[in-house]
């Protein structure tokens, strides 16, 4: 007796109504890194994940920062999987959290950062805060639409002890911030528009 071979389970999943359809290919090789020290630089994160001995990674094609999170893209899925399977990642003596980035976060980040003119137009300069005011407090304040009128930040850079540069994801958030008066730690902040020269 000749037995008929069972159809491959993968093939069966691809068949719908007698017609085969292609499964989408996952081309997301990007991880999201959080929990880093506030002073951590993008270059430090990139070099760490490009070091196979330290992170089990390698082949980093891009590393970008969004607020306190970093998005690291690898050249292929195998490297990304190795990094995700590594139970412990330490950068600047601090243990960080690593997970696969969501496509909506990547798309949003790329849409903003790919347009250089828009990127420049979303910047603000903030002065007048106390010398001991933390970057985290300023970030929380300016990302609070209720408190400041702002929204999600791409970056926040402390240029010197008395001045910070904020880059918002949207031009509308920046303009709303400019139209308001801002008080933090019982101190009135000065907000100035930064335009590309």
Q: What is the DSSP string of 35-102?
A: ---TT--HHHHHHHHH-HHHHS---EEEEEEETTEEEEEESSHHHHHHHHH-S-EEETTEEEEEEEPP
Distance CA 139, CA 164 (A): 11
Identity of the highest mean pLDDT range in 10-14, 73-77, 168-172 = 73-77
* Mean predicted confidence (pLDDT) in 65-73: 86
Query: Is the pLDDT confidence value at 27 over 70?
Result: yes
Which residues, at least 6 apart from 17, have a Cβ–Cβ distance to it below 8 Å? Answer: none
- Number of helices (H), then strands (E), belonging to the chain: the values are 9, 12
Which residues, at least 6 apart from 85, have a Cβ–Cβ distance to it below 8 Å? Answer: 56
How far the first Cα of the chain sits from its last, in Å, is 83
pLDDT digits (tens, 9 = 90+) for 79-108: 999 999 999 999 988 999 999 998 877 766
Instruction: Give the model's confidence band at 178: pLDDT under 50 very low, under 70 low, under 90 confident, else very high.
Output: very high
Instruction: Give the model's confidence band at 129: pLDDT under 50 very low, under 70 low, under 90 confident, else very high.
Output: very high
Q: Quick one: tokens of 167?
A: 């880059």
Q: Walk me through the domains of the chain, giving residue ranges and CATH numbers.
A: 30-112 (3.30.70.330), 116-194 (3.30.70.330)
Whether 51 contacts 88, CB under 8 Å:
no
Query: Is the pLDDT confidence value at 190 over 80?
Result: yes
């Amino acid at each position: 007796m000749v037995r008929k071979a069972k159809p491959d389970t993968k093939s069966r999943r691809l068949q719908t109504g007698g017609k085969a359809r292609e499964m989408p290919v996952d081309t997301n090789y990007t991880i999201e890194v959080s929990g880093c020290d506030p002073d951590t630089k993008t270059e430090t994160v990139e070099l760490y994940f490009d070091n196979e001995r330290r992170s089990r990674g390698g082949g980093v094609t891009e590393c970008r920062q969004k607020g306190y999170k970093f998005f690291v893209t690898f050249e292929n899925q195998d490297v990304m999987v190795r990094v995700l399977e590594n139970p412990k990642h330490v950068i600047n003596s601090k243990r960080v959290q690593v997970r696969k980035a969501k496509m909506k976060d990547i798309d949003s980040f790329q849409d903003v950062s790919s347009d250089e003119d828009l990127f420049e137009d979303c910047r603000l300069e903030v002065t007048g805060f106390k010398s001991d005011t933390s970057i985290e407090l300023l970030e929380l304040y300016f990302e609070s639409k209720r408190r400041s009128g702002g929204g999600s930040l791409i970056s926040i850079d402390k240029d010197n002890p008395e001045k910070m540069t904020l880059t918002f994801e949207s031009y509308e958030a920046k303009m709303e911030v400019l139209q308001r008066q801002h008080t933090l730690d019982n101190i009135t902040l000065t907000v100035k528009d930064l335009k590309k020269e």
